[in-house]
A and B are shown apart, each in its own frame.
Chain A
Amino acid sequence: DVKVTQSSRYLVKRTGEKVFLECVQDMDHENMFWYRQDPGLGLRLIYFSYDVKMKEKGDIPEGYSVSREKKERFSLILESASTNQTSMYLCASSSGGARGGNEQFFGPGTRLTVL
């Protein structure tokens, strides 16, 4: 059974803290994605990666960075958390050739609150 796991379901951090969100997939997928989900705004792509050590900016990369040192793991980093980064963060992975776009498998999400 395919599986995408995220390190935390709930996380509370303070403004200015450095935050790491971890995502692991066990499907040997090339492509991994980080989204944030906010009411009325849907899923917005933050960063994605088509291969190890590769990363590309999505639609809203400001304030975030990513790391992909191993194929199965994709980390989202908030260098200095701010209250407007309070959100649900979803990780996803997909197979599919050189670039993504086929079925994406999502993790359960991490609800981050920045105080």
Chain B
Amino acid sequence: QQQVKQSPQSLIVQKGGIPIINCAYENTAFDYFPWYQQFPGKGPALLIAIRPDVSEKKEGRFTISFNKSAKQFSLHIMDSQPGDSATYFCAASEGNEKLTFGTGTRLTIIP
């Protein structure tokens, strides 16, 4: 049973555009929502994370928007660059429990 649904599966955006990746969850007990970034040949690495007491979090060009009532959260990348091309995974966990990952989005930023 997939508890975190991620879309789209792949995304192509021109340099400078704002790619948006969406995730939806079912378990209302989830209280930690990280995004991981994975470059080819590397393991995923934590990019940014949010807890449900805030609706938005920014770190540099990366922003998480969180909608608790809709049980959705999304990643926005401002002024996207070719170096942002990677696979992005959303995830969620309850308390200090294990993470449940989405299926991933392959993002390509074209010059």
**Interfacial residues, chain A to chain B (CB-CB below 8 A):** 4, 33, 35, 40-45, 48, 58, 90, 92, 96-109
Contacts and interface: CB of A to CB of B under 8 A. Distances in A.
A96 B103 contact: no
Contact of A99 (B43, B49, B95, B100): B95
Contact of A97 (B96, B98, B100): B96
B75 to A, nearest CB: 15
B93 A101 contact: yes
Nearest to B45: A106
**What 4 A-B pairs are tightest by C-beta distance, nearest first?**
A106-B43, A42-B103, A101-B93, A101-B96
Majority secondary structure, A binding face: loop
Contact of A4 (B32, B43, B103): B43
Interface range, B side:
20 to 34
A27 to B, nearest CB: 14
B99 A101 contact: yes
B34 A100 contact: no
Interface in B40-70: 41-46, 49
Nearest to A59: B100
B97 A101 contact: yes
B89 interface: yes
B96 A100 contact: yes
Given A99-B95, A101-B95, A41 B103 contact: yes
Most A CB within 10 A of own CB, among B6, B42, B94, B104: B104
A25 B95 CA distance: 24
